[in-house]
Amino acid sequence: MSGVMNFKNCGSVLITGANRGLGLQMVESLASEGFSPGKIIATTRNISLSQKLQELAKKYSNVHIVTLDVVDQESIEKCAEEVGQLVEEEGLNCLINNAGINVEADFHSVTAEKMIENFHTNSVAPLMITKAFLPLLKKAASRGGSGIMRIQKAAVINMTSLLGSVELNWGERANSFKWYPYRTSKSALNMVSRCMAVDLESDGILCMAIHPGWVRTDMGGSEAPLSPEESVASVLSVIGGLTEKDHGSFLNFTGEQLPW
Ligand code: NDP
């Protein structure tokens, strides 16, 4: 069975930043294929501006839209409460921390404010969101039995970037994308993923970070080699096939390990 097919047996998936780009594509791909999970919870910071999401929710009864601004703690707590009412005793199986921003700034233009803005959205928010959703993830994990870790039980997936790899930012590769705020925020997200993997292991919650490839979204730009459909098909296939051996990992969209 391919990894993507595995979503069929997944009770609920929540995706942050689903208004456009990879988040929206994940919702559409999960809803429209034959491997759709029971509940697809698409979060966006402004439902009234999320036209495409609204169309998907009208077309597919398992798509639910919930408001979430990932840098607003009150919004995070309200979202967790609403999702709790949606998933009830089954809990939340798979949390995908996808929302992200790229504050472009090199050594000369970077400021403390730019660093902090990028860190808040890309590194701090996934941690705060996971903390808020922990009771729901634990509920799902406890219902999943004592078997191996997988998304059908409980998992936290952090959408990271190859640009966060400290090891790869050297030699020829170091001469492009000199973005201090973005790169360091994704390095921090990688460490957040690893720390959470250590802390949530005893609860049976799989935690990992995945790079979606370079994709033609508003963030990736028109020069990127991958379409959102191509990237998301691979990403969902990898996520769907995750097991214990992938707990605490940093994977490429192809499923290969990436250097930290
Ligand atoms: P886009 O810029 O196309 O979309 C970003 C999404 O994040 C939007 O839906 C946006 O919502 C949402 N978002 C940003 N800030 C917040 C916030 N405070 N609260 C709620 N939602 C927010 O990016 P991509 O789809 O390309 O990227 C998705 C993820 O993949 C990101 O984490 C990114 O770093 C990562 N990634 C992308 C790559 C690429 O090539 N595209 C490469 C490597 C990693 P809104 O519409 O309201 O602004």
Q: Tell me the ipTM for this assembly.
A: 0.99
112 CB burial (10 A radius; 0-12, 13-18, 19+)? exposed
Q: How far apart are the first and last CA of the chain?
A: 30
Position 3 scores a pLDDT of 65
Best of 26, 217, 238, 251 for a ligand 1 pocket test (most atoms within 8 Å of beta carbon)? 217
The parts of the chain modelled with pLDDT lower than 50 are 1
The closest of 179, 99, 210, 83 to 135, measured between CA atoms, is: 83
| Beta strand pairing call for 250-252 and 206-211 | parallel
Q: Specify the 3-state DSSP secondary structure of 36.
A: coil
Position 61 scores a pLDDT of 96
For residue 195 the two structure tokens come to 């720390």
| Residues flanking ligand 1, CB < 6 Å | 17, 19-23, 45, 68-71, 98-101, 121, 159, 161, 211-212, 214-215, 217-220, 224
Q: What's the topology of domain 2-252?
A: Rossmann fold (3.40.50)
Position 1 scores a pLDDT of 45
Task: Classify the phi-psi angles of 125: left when phi > 0, otherwise alpha if psi is within -120 to 50, otherwise beta.
Answer: alpha
Report how far ligand 1's centroid is from the alpha carbon of 258 (Å). 21
For residue 162 the two structure tokens come to 């190859």
Position 177 scores a pLDDT of 87
Position 9 scores a pLDDT of 83
Position 8 scores a pLDDT of 78
